[in-house]
């Protein structure tokens, strides 16, 4: 009987030790998980495509929040500081990053792409004279993907082949999307779109159309009565059929212009962030770029 009790105690001790050891190992594995913090939706979607489940993505900007006015909480900053890589868009889009020291782990993607300089009348005093919406140029997305992959290879070298393979697939998808845009937008009868916020200069430059905008690069700017009157006159004189606004921005002024001009209003998505509803639908960069293309082709009367 005494030997039986000793055997029971021994088995319990072994089981307890095994439980503690396995739990410790689980925590140790979790602590070694590669973490990548990322701001804008386009960059977030890029990390998802290239790294997939090999990294833990810390989404800095919550879905449904405007990128221009976002400020991270102290709790979120702790998560960011514990990440192995912090990817942000740059070019003045996220002012809050200037307040923090990322200790060499930050990747300012705007340093690796081709940036569009803003004309004086395009609200040049914002963003240091640079248009920050560069991810809408597919060529810049290709450059960004290559830079991101090099950084992923460094922080998680065991997954290098996996990342590099996914990069190739991602670039091929971008090439197909670019070819589709070129084909569709090369047959348009009109050459100008009207938007509330000047976020589509990169797309316009790449595919050869013009943009008339109500406000400059700051979507919260209040348009002047003169600017609204000029746009109404332009719309009536040129036969524009649709004018665009975007999520996170008041549509009051653009709807007023549409009513006065007798045209439709629609949403064009610049993808600094996406809405909670778009996230729930699982929309990707490619999904939204295709939606934008469909709307652009109708507004520009492309064949």
Q: Report phi then psi at 171, rounded to 5.
A: -65, -40
- Dihedral sign (CA 43, 47, 48, 49): positive
Q: Looking at the domain assignment, is residue 79 inside a domain?
A: no
pLDDT computed for residue 30 by the predictor: 43
pLDDT computed for residue 28 by the predictor: 42
Its pTM stands at: 0.84
pLDDT computed for residue 176 by the predictor: 98
Q: Looking at the domain assignment, is residue 215 inside a domain?
A: yes
Low-confidence ranges of the chain (pLDDT < 50): 24-31, 122, 124-125
pLDDT computed for residue 187 by the predictor: 93
DSSP 221: P
pLDDT computed for residue 219 by the predictor: 55
The span from the CA of 112 to the CA of 103, in Å, is 20
The span from the CA of 267 to the CA of 269, in Å, is 6
The span from the CA of 52 to the CA of 43, in Å, is 13
pLDDT in tens, 80-96: 999 999 999 999 898 88
Q: Looking at the domain assignment, is residue 280 inside a domain?
A: yes
Look-up of token digits 């050459």: 191
Q: Looking at the domain assignment, is residue 210 inside a domain?
A: yes
Number of domains in the chain: 1
Q: Looking at the domain assignment, is residue 214 inside a domain?
A: yes
Q: Looking at the domain assignment, is residue 140 inside a domain?
A: no
Q: Looking at the domain assignment, is residue 114 inside a domain?
A: no
DSSP 284: -
Rg of the chain over CA atoms, in angstroms? Answer: 25
Q: Identify the domain containing residue 246 by its residue range.
A: 187-299
CATH number, domain of 209, equals: 3.40.50.1980
Q: Looking at the domain assignment, is residue 285 inside a domain?
A: yes
pLDDT in tens, 229-250: 888 999 999 889 999 988 777 7
């Amino acid at each position: 009987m005494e030997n039986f009790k000793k055997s029971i105690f021994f088995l319990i001790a072994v089981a307890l030790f095994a439980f503690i050891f396995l739990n410790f190992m689980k925590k140790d594995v979790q602590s070694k998980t590669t973490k990548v913090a990322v701001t804008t939706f386009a960059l977030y979607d890029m990390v998802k495509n290239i790294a997939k489940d090999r990294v833990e993505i810390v989404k800095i900007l919550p879905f449904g929040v405007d990128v221009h006015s976002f400020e991270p909480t102290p709790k979120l900053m702790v998560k960011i500081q514990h990440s192995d890589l912090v990817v942000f868009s740059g070019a003045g889009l996220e002012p809050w990053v200037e307040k923090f020291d990322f200790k060499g782990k930050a990747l300012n993607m705007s340093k690796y792409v081709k940036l569009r300089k803003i004309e004086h009348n395009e609200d040049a005093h914002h963003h240091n004279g640079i248009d920050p919406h560069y991810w809408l140029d597919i060529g810049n997305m290709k450059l960004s993907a290559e830079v991101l992959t090099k950084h992923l290879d460094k922080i998680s070298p065991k997954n290098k082949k996996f990342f590099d393979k996914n990069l190739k697939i991602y670039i091929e998808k971008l090439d197909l999307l670019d070819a589709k845009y070129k084909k569709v937008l090369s047959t348009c009868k009109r050459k100008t779109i009207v938007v509330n916020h000047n976020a589509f200069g990169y797309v316009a430059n790449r595919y050869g159309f013009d943009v008339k905008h109500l406000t400059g690069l700051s979507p919260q700017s209040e348009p002047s009565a003169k600017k609204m009157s000029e746009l109404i006159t332009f719309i009536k004189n040129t036969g524009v059929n649709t004018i665009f606004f975007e999520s996170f921005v008041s549509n009051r002024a653009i709807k007023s212009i549409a009513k006065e001009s007798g045209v439709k209003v629609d949403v064009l998505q610049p993808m600094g962030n996406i809405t909670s509803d778009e996230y729930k639908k699982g929309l990707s960069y490619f999904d939204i770029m295709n939606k934008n293309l469909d709307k652009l082709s109708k507004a520009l009367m492309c064949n």
